[in-house]
């Protein structure tokens, strides 16, 4: 049995990941009726401490090292207990966030914190390069494909506000701007180093329908090549 395909979907909050993950699931199933798809997400339901901090800690800069530790440990367990077993059964796995999220969000925490205190970049905490190294371990997979949904932070924040839900730790405009910058930087640096597999960037400022069509076109192109391997 051929191993399943592992896809990560990344982007700042408000980029439309949830909607496009559902679209991607439908695309995969339409290509072959025997394609089984598992949708999962990070942080997982088991990582209660991360969820507590996201909901109760309003300071986007606080706890960078501890948040990183919690995310990485959750990812290791998630990979071992959910992702790898599914892939070994030939199932397509789509993860709402994976290793690129930690690289982008936690390096954004560092940059915003240092800037707010007027400290030089080398002052403390984990840089993007250090985060790369921290996750470059056998217990954490390299996705076959990473979709990075890129959206203006201002548009993303408008979408979050329209949901009518209480904003979380990282759903503040200054942090969203910084994390958007770090996502773009991570993709530029990380793909050649094979941290994320093939990275496909998608303009998520467009309507849901246009974004879905773009994802469909780009995924089918990738899928056709993958099937030949």
- pLDDT tens per residue, range 43-79: 998 877 777 766 666 565 567 788 888 899 999 999 9
**What per-residue confidence (pLDDT) applies to 125?**
53
Residue 1 lies in a domain: no
Q: Provide the strand spans (E) within the chain.
A: 6-10, 37-41, 92-96, 145-150, 198-203
Q: What is the reported pTM?
A: 0.90
Q: What is the pLDDT of residue 48?
A: 74
How many alpha carbons fall within 13 Å on the CB side of residue 141?
24
What is the residue range of 101's domain?
6-228
Q: Considering the domain boundaries, does residue 189 fall inside one? A: yes
Q: Look at residue 99 and tell me if it is in a domain.
A: yes
Quick one: pLDDT at residue 144?
A: 97
Residue 204 falls within a domain, yes or no? yes
Positive or negative, the CA dihedral 38, 102, 84, 192 is positive
Q: Which residue shows structure tokens 């109760």? A: 56
| Distance between CA atoms of residues 15 and 204, nearest Å | 6
In the block, tokens 């506000």 appear at 161
What are the tens digits of pLDDT across the range 14-24?
A: 999 999 999 99
State the CATH number of the domain containing residue 139: 3.40.50.300
pLDDT tens-place string over residues 190-226: 877 789 999 999 999 999 999 999 999 999 999 999 9
Q: Structural domain tally of the chain? A: 1
- Looking at the domain assignment, is residue 179 inside a domain? yes
Residue 50 lies in a domain: yes
Can you tell me the distance from the alpha carbon of 68 to that of 20, in angstroms, rounded to the nearest whole number?
A: 26
Contact call for residues 225 and 144 (beta carbons, < 8 A): no
């Amino acid at each position: 049995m051929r191993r399943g395909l592992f896809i990560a979907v990344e982007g700042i909050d408000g980029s439309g990941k949830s909607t496009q993950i559902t679209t991607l699931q439908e695309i995969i199933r339409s290509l072959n009726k025997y394609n089984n798809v598992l949708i999962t997400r990070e942080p997982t339901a088991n990582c209660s401490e991360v969820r507590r901090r996201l909901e109760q800690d309003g300071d986007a800069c606080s706890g960078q090292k501890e948040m990183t530790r919690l995310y990485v440990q959750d990812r290791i367990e998630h990979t071992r207990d959910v992702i790898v077993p599914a892939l070994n059964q030939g199932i397509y796995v789509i993860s709402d966030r994976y290793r690129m999220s930690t690289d982008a969000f936690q390096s954004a925490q560092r940059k915003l914190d240092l800037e707010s205190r007027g400290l030089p970049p080398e002052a403390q905490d984990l840089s993007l390069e250090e985060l790369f190294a921290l996750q470059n371990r056998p217990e954490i997979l390299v996705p076959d494909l990473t979709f990075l949904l890129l959206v203006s932070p201002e548009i993303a924040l408008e979408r979050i506000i329209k949901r009518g839900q209480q904003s979380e730790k990282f759903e503040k405009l200054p942090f969203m701007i910084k994390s958007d910058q770090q996502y773009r930087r991570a993709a530029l640096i990380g793909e050649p180093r094979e941290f994320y597999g093939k990275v496909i960037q998608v303009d998520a400022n467009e309507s849901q329908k246009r974004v879905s069509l773009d994802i469909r076109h780009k995924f089918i192109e990738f899928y056709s090549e993958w099937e030949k391997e």
